[in-house]
Amino acid sequence: MLRLFPLVIGLSVLHPLHAGEAEPITKPGKPFVSKAVATTRTASVPDYVSAFEEEIEWLDFGIDSRSRFEFRDQDYRTTDLLSETLFYQRSLLYLGVHDLLGPLNFTAEFEDSRRGLSDRAESGNEANHTELLQAYGELRFDDALGGDPVSLRLGRMAFDAVDRRLISRNRYRNTITAFDGARLRIGEESSPIEWDAFALRQVDRSVDALDESSEESLLYGVTGYVRTFSPRVLIEPYWLLSDQASGGGKQLHTSGVHTYGQIGSSSWDYDFDFAGQWGELGGLDHQAWAAHAEVGHTWDHPWKPRLGAWLNFASGDRDPGDTDSGRFDPLYGASFSFYGYTSYFSWQNMINPALRLSFQPMEKLKCEIIHRGIWLASEEDAWVRASRRDPAGASGRYVGQELDLRASWQATKHLEIEAVYACFFPGGFVDQTGPSPESHFGYLGATLRF
């Protein structure tokens, strides 16, 4: 039943029976976007990109350069609870040629990511020197299916899928996940119904050498975006297959439905995602599931305050000694905004309720406060990012709480300044499995875009 439930829901909405009675999309060419955390995907072109000049509309161009100072006190992702100050810098350069050679388009995006103020060896999550992030050719036919475009991309690409919980073009991390392969899209972000199908190889990031795609790490998928009932209901069914030969082997199917929209008047919104997962992991039979549920209310006030309440759940492995695997695998998804600014948690073995208050005291200043609680879904399984586990389950489920603060100021058209602070308060499980001090994290960053 777990395997069939998401597929049944997904297939039932792909061809709406009453499309003629549905409400129109909120604005032609601009579908409704919820205020929920995870509904702002970048499916096609990054938001820092625009036409080069009015006279050269066939050329898209963009530069995004981000610098960030971070401090970490008692970092639970390290065995010795490391404390350090870091400097990160990431520059992106985008060039896209379209509507010049008929249906044939070309895109290239370069990334240069570096880390400073630390003697630790750099990893591919922190640094990727002078790398080709995207490089693909595209065949695009704008009016192929009743006015909706059809496009086929071949090459290297980085993109978001659905609500970014399983495939993400990383926002916070200093390096971005990329794939080599083929991607077929029917429709686009403004279409009532959009399909996206892909067959890809994961690109292994190397700090100094050129990145290469892995023949042992494959990703297949089909995602749908049904906007026919916008703004009340937007439905996004998906199926993904992650096939990896390394690390003991992995062949995981992940199928689910993401839906979001408005409740009644525009002051209420919601965001739900349910994912079932099955297959084989490290020679074990795998069956797991995960869910997200969020409801928010926005008040009619100059500061545009919104209070959101949500619950994240991801199953854990109940018995480390049996032949079954039950811990949900988040694949290539984002985690920073979703599960905590400390980056201590991901969509794995968690019960995570949270309250989020966002407001805008000035036109160009956005702020948010998030309070999170974290429990283990299975007390016999691990707090994954901290590599802590009590196989006997005698240490309880309560991992702790996290308080997150964030402010973003659009100082000029080209300059954005962002500040973040987070504090993690450990709970009983942490006390029982090792050192358990409070942990602090923060950063001050500036991004230039041209």
pLDDT of amino acid 44: 78
Task: Give the residues of the chain that fall short of pLDDT 70.
Answer: 1-31, 39, 43
pLDDT single digits (tens) 78-95: 999 999 999 999 999 999
HEC states along the chain? CCCHHHHHHHHHHCCCCCHHHCCCCCECCECCCCCCCCCCCCCCCCCCCEEEECCEEEEEEEEEEEEEEEEEEEECCCCCCEEEEEEEEEEEEEEEEEEEECCEEEEEEEEEEEEECCCCCCCCCCCEEEEEEEEEEEEEEEEEECCEEEEEEEEEECCCCCCCCCECCCCCCCCCCCEEEEEEEECCCCCCEEEEEEEEEEEECCCCCCCEEEEEEEEEEEEEEECCCCCCCEEEEEEEEEEECCCCCEEEEEEEEEEEEECCCCCEEEEEEEEEEEEEECCEEEEEEEEEEEEEEECCCCCCCEEEEEEEEECCCCCCCCCEECCCCCCECCCHHHHCCCCCCCCCCEEEEEEEEEEEEECCEEEEEEEEEEECCCCCCEEHHHCEECCCCCCCCEEEEEEEEEEEEECCCCEEEEEEEEEEEECHHHHHHCCCCCEEEEEEEEEEEC
User: What integer pLDDT is reported at residue 293 of this predicted model?
Assistant: 97
Q: What is the pLDDT of residue 140?
A: 95
pLDDT of 31 reads: 61
Give the model's pLDDT for residue 41: 81
Which pLDDT value is given to residue 219? 98
pLDDT in tens, 383-433: 999 999 999 999 999 999 999 999 999 999 999 999 999 999 999 999 999
Question: 194 exposed, middle or buried (CB, 10 Å; 0-12, 13-18, 19+)?
Answer: buried
- Give residue 147's pLDDT: 81
pLDDT of 43 reads 65
Lookup: tokens for 31:
């579908």
What is the pLDDT, as a whole number, of residue 153? 97
- Domains of the chain: residue spans and CATH: 4-449 (2.40.160.100)
How many Cβ atoms sit within 10 Å of the Cβ of residue 251? 15
